[in-house]
Structures are given as C-alpha cells and as structure tokens.
Amino acid sequence: MEFEKLVAFAKEKEIDLTVIGMDDPLVGGIVDAFQEAGLRVFGPNKAAAILEGSKAFSKNLMKKYGIPAAAYETFTDPEAALAYLETAKMPIVLKADGLALGKGVLICQDLSEARAGVRELMMDKKFGSAGNEIVVEEFMTGREVSVLSFVDGNTVKIMSSAQDHKRAKDGDQGLNTGGMGNYSPSPFYTKEVDAYCQEHIYQPTVDAMKAEGRPFKGVIFFGLMLTENGPKVLEYNARFGDPEAQVVLPRLENDIVDVFEACIDGTLDQIDLKFDNDRATVCVILASDGYPVSYEKGFVIDGLEKFRDKEDYYVFHSGTKFNGQGQIVTNGGRVLGVTATGPTLRQALHDAYAAARAVDFDGKYLRHDIGQRALAALAD
C-alpha cells in the first residue's frame, strides 16, 4: 500500500483531519504513517487494528480476559482442522483469520460442508493469505445485533444498535455478503442487554487492549449474538460497519468532527454523545445481479436526481464511478445504499423501499425483506 503518497497528498492539501474507513489500510498501518508525519488521523494504529485483522488474536483476547464469546479452536494445518471436525458438533462456523471483505465466514450445516469449507479456506486459498490460519467456532443461535462505539483508548461510548442482513437472498438464504441492508435501532437491543454488554463486553474489551499494550482509538464495531445464555461477541471490526454506519450516523446529533477529535485526544469522557432516539433509519442495498459471485459492471444509473434537496433520504455510493460521458455507472457488487429515516421503523422501511424503486440500472438486485422480523417482533 502506497501510504507515502497519501501522506504527501494530505500535506500538500493541508488536510487537518483524515478519517480512515477501510480495514486493509488500518491493519496495514496507515494511521502510523500519518502520525509519524505529524498529521491528525482518526482510526486505530496497526497494533490496535489487529483486533479485526486477526480472528485468532481477537478470540484469544476474549478468552484471556473473560469476554463472553463462542467456544473455538484455531488451526494453521488443514489436516489438523479436518481431523478436529470429525468429532465436532454440527452446525459449525469456520472463519478465515485475516481480512476477507466480510465474507470469510462459513456456516457449515454438516461434516461434508465443513470439510469443503476447510479446503476452500486453507487449501484452495479462496481468500488468499487470510486463510493461512482459521478459527473453528461453536455455532451460536439467537438474534444478531451490531453495536458501533467510539473509543479513545480508555473510554468507550456506544452509538446506536443496528441490525444487518448478511445473506444475499430473501429469508436469509444464499451466500454471505458485505451486507444487503440494515436498520437502526434494533428492538432486540434492550436496556437490559445494554447494561450487560457495558459491564461484560464493551469496557472489558477496551481495557483488555490497553492491558495488551495496544490501546485502541477509533471505532470498535461489536458484532453480538443474543443467546439464551446472554449476549456474546461474534466478531470485532476496527472501523465503521457498512451498511451499519449508513443507519446509525444520520441519527447522530453531535458534530462528528468533535467526536473524532475527542477520540484522538483522549477526551471522549467529556463528550455527551447524543442520538435521535425518536426516529428509525433503514438502508436497502442495491446490488448488481450475481453478487457476491460474479456480475457485470458499467450500467448507467438513473433516478439519482430525484433525491436532490430531499430531507430524510440519503444515497450512499459504494460501487459506482463516472464513465467517459460523465454518467454515473455501476462499478461493483454492492452499488448503492439507499437510506431513509422516519418517525417509526415501519415508515422508514416504507420510504427506503420507495426510494429504492426510484433508482434503476440494468441488473439491479435487492432484498425485499429488510426489517420484517423487527416489524413482526414490534407487533407482538
């Protein structure tokens, strides 16, 4: 990674604050490069970004400091992993140790699938060196919830809960993706759940990283499973989640730059973090047909002009670019995150899907059931 060019650009343009969003540069040490050049930068340094960069590190950290998580084993030898599977309880979860664009997690229903998963990750190297080591993890059941937090090395302040939809197809079918939609807040993240997590997960994680000589400054994304035995950590990310950020940040009432600065300076305890808890937000991902396997690019996107000067709607670009004629075209698997806020989850869902219908391109694909389980739960 050519960090020196980015550092030179920041100096040339006299950029006061840089926010790092991607996992690869964080794990690669971009924050260290900026800090060494005397530039202000928001995000964890290389030593702290290992919290996401290595599944084995994070699992060992949770085990050492008693942070609730699934039981697990780690393997660097595929034959040893295959032998372990012979007596393991199914279903079981396989995770590539390194970064894999949020897709290096396989949920295997039976021994045959698990064997194939080990071969895919460790032998066929589907995710390259990320599969040099794998974590074999107990399969947990319950509701998944995502919680983002700001951290300054000592203090952790929770943002708002969110609910991702990882599978490609309706009904949580199909392959894992980077996320097909999200809503916030989650009705399943109760005050009781929050109190438990504050005591047993959030602050203990920050304290553990500090104790390991890896103080964390930036955003920690807590992926949680609400099991019958209490909340447990599924994963950590060392950055804003996508599409979690799209539904959480629109409800932030603080000036986000003030929060970034406080995290950098270690003064987060002086920030009264506030969110608009009277509104809900929904993001529907518009993807390219065939994602996450194979898909075509370069299709012209129509309808974006409909959102100019409209309040309570946001269209976040992820897989787009300008073509030679100055038109915005598709350039990835997940193309746009169409987002709406409303006074209720039901209204936000209605508006987000109406907005999704207003945008069109060849091969547009989306899930049609974002937030439906939450609506059913709220109706009970």
Residues 6+ apart with CB under 8 A from 325: none
What band does 1 get if pLDDT is binned at 50, 70 and 90? Answer: confident
3-state secondary structure the chain: CCHHHHHHHHHHCCCCCEECCCHHHHHHCHHHHHHHCCCCEECCCHHHHHHHHCHHHHHHHHHHHCCCECCEEEECCHHHHHHHHCCCCCCEEEEECCCCCCCCEEEECCHHHHHHHHHHHHHCCCCHHHHCCEEEEECCCCEEEEEEEEEECCCEEEEEEEEECCEEEHHHEEEECCCCEEEECCCCCCHHHHHHHHHHHHHHHHHHHHHCCCCCEEEEEEEEEEECCEEEEEEEECCCCCCHHHHHHHHECCCHHHHHHHHHHCCHHHCCCCECCCCEEEEEEEEECCCCCCCCCCCECECHHHHCCCCCEEEEECCEEECCCCCEEECCCEEEEEEEEECCHHHHHHHHHHHHHHCECCCEECCCCCCHHHHHHHHC
Residue 171: pLDDT over 90: yes
Q: What angle do CA 341, 346, 348 make, to 5 degrees?
A: 15
CA-to-CA separations, 345 to 158, 197, 282, in angstroms, rounded = 21, 24, 8
Q: Quick: pLDDT tens for 342-361.
A: 999 999 999 999 999 999 99
CA-to-CA separations, 192 to 62, 222, 231, in angstroms, rounded = 21, 17, 10
- The whole-number average pLDDT for the span 231-257 is 95
- Name the phi and psi angles at 163, rounded to 5: -130, 115
What band does 222 get if pLDDT is binned at 50, 70 and 90? Answer: very high
Q: What structural domains does the chain harbor? A: 3-42 (3.40.50.20), 71-138 (3.30.1490.20), 143-270 (3.30.470.20), 280-379 (3.90.600.10)
Q: Quick: pLDDT tens for 302-326.
A: 999 999 888 999 999 999 999 999 9
Please give the Cα distance from 240 to 263 (Å, whole number): 14
Q: Quick: pLDDT tens for 190-211.
A: 999 999 999 999 999 999 999 9
Residue 56: pLDDT over 70: yes
- The whole-number average pLDDT for the span 255-264 is 98
- The whole-number average pLDDT for the span 15-39 is 96
Q: Give residue 104's pLDDT.
A: 85
